[in-house]
Amino acid sequence: MASQKVVANGPSKASLPPNPLPRWLRTNNVYLFIPNIIGYARIILASISLVYMPIHPITCTILYGVSCILDALDGWAARKFSQSTKFGAVLDMVTDRCTTSCLLMFLSAAYPDQPSLKILFQFLLSLDLASHYMHMYAMMEKGAGSHKSVDREQSKILNLYYTNKTVLFTFCAFNELHFVSLYLLSFPSPSAARDAILPFIKGMAYITFPICAGKQIINFVQMARAAETLVNIDKHNRMLASQLNGDKSE
């Protein structure tokens, strides 16, 4: 870069950015980067929450909630310590998809007297997995450096969703809060203490519903745009192949 001083033996020490990590935390092993360690902690907490999910809703909610909060922390750590990696990005997305899928799987069986909800939760689970898989694959085929690198020409909605951290956090947080509130409401009331917070849980379910519904719309748009991107790539590749074959035949 123009601002970088170059000497005979390479860039000067003054041009190198200072490492904000203490010496004992510095490593070149990607597996041991701080954001990825936070990611492992998320997996452990989410896994333990699954054990408590059918038997102890409060414990499960606390563990699940801490795992979700760490989702925001690992992104901050990646930027703070300049440790953003492709492995970390995929680990983060896979953890998100797995935790949400497990919660939706539980919800699909949590309301046996309302079979239509089972179909709805199964649909939402499928939409979540399909949209994110297709989106990541389409962005990879497009040559984007990240699945969040969505330009406005591809989709104004997705561009706002992925580039505005406030929007991204709000939709993801409210989406999880809505499903968690439905999870808590699926349990019978065993105590007066739970009866006392029941209005709060119901209120949270109502308040978060519009944003959760919007998140499902975003998932659908994401899947549709990913399909469009892949089709356009296919068309372009087939056109190049046709032109190449035409040149050979001549």
State the CATH number of the domain containing residue 192.
Answer: 1.20.120
Contact 234, 227 (CB under 8 A): no
**pLDDT the model gives residue 191:** 64
Question: What is the Cα–Cα distance from 93 to 85, expressed in whole angstroms?
Answer: 13
Residue 222 lies in a domain: yes
Selecting among 74, 92, 96, 128, the annotated active-site residue is: 96
Residue 130 lies in a domain: yes
Question: What is the Cα–Cα distance from 236 to 15, expressed in whole angstroms?
Answer: 43
Contact 93, 147 (CB under 8 A): yes
**Can you tell me whether residue 6 is helix, strand or coil?**
strand
Residue 5 lies in a domain: no
**pLDDT the model gives residue 130:** 97
pTM (predicted TM-score): 0.85
Type and span of the H or E element at 10? strand 10-11
pLDDT in 10s for each residue of the chain, 250 residues? 444 443 444 444 445 456 667 665 778 889 999 999 999 999 999 999 999 999 999 999 999 999 999 998 998 998 888 899 999 999 999 999 999 999 999 999 999 989 999 999 999 999 999 999 999 999 999 888 788 889 888 899 999 999 999 999 999 999 999 999 999 999 886 666 667 888 999 999 999 999 999 999 999 999 999 999 999 999 999 999 888 877 665 5
Residue 10 lies in a domain: no
**pLDDT the model gives residue 19:** 64
Residue 250 lies in a domain: no
**pLDDT the model gives residue 24:** 58
Residue 239 lies in a domain: yes
**pLDDT the model gives residue 9:** 46
Residue 2 lies in a domain: no
Domain that holds residue 64: 20-243
Question: What is the Cα–Cα distance from 118 to 206, expressed in whole angstroms?
Answer: 19
Asked whether the CA dihedral 147, 152, 154, 155 is positive or negative, the reply is positive
Answer yes or no: 96 catalytic.
yes
Residue 33 lies in a domain: yes
Longest dimension (CA), the chain: 85
**Can you tell me whether residue 7 is helix, strand or coil?**
strand
Q: How many domains does the chain have?
A: 1
